[in-house]
Structure 1
Amino acid sequence: MSRRVTSEHLVAELVALLGERAFIALAENFGGRRLYVPRKIDADGEIAKAVGMTAAQKLSDRKSPDYLRVPLARGLRARHHRAAGLSNGEIATKLGMTETGVNSLFARMHSLPEKGSDKDRQLSFF
């Protein structure tokens, strides 16, 4: 009997395998689609161009030859972009959703990620 892998488990597995930065590049380039992962990675191939040769080879070693349903990972990507200092409007554009949707996404999170550029500009009162 095959076990269905949830999106959250797949995200965790791919982040552990590739690292967060390479996974985010994978999700931003291929999120929401089925991606064929070949046995032999070509440096000029779309996967290597998106995530780098090292991460592409790791993905191939673990997932080839097969199709991978690349998660959208909007929550992880939103946190990443927020930490990089992007506004909710800029994040909305990157995620392909509305700014209101981004506001709702952050509202559902247990801990709101700090905005990178705001952190540097805030005054400390203590």
Structure 2
Amino acid sequence: MDKGYEKERFESVSIKSSVVRKFRRYCRNISKSQSMALLLMIEFFEDNGISPTESMGPKMQTLENLIKKRINGVIAILKDIEKSQTKPTVAMMETLFKEAEPKKKPLILEKKNVEKMTEVRFREKQNPSNEL
């Protein structure tokens, strides 16, 4: 029995015999009772707002084209953000950090200063007893 529909009574509907055979074959393929298969079909059409007489082809193509347009729109927005906001901001930050770098000050005892100092003021005292 169909869950939730056990206490309902059956009604009859007049359907052509060729349609009934096709419908019963379809119900066996989806493993549903005839009532549940018909209910699923009706709910599908109502939920999706389509009519059984409409073709799904153009609607799916239209939907696909709409999605592609929106994706292209999002890509264009991201590229614009990158050009107008991200790249200029990065450039400004780089220039700020380049200017903020400390200037290299020469060390006190650089080579050029050592050459000037040829005169030695203090010498180590040498003990004659330490000589070998």
TM-score (norm 2): 0.24
**Higher RCO by CA contacts (8 Å cutoff, separation 6 or greater):** 1
Q: Which has the higher helix share?
A: 2
Which has more radius of gyration? 2
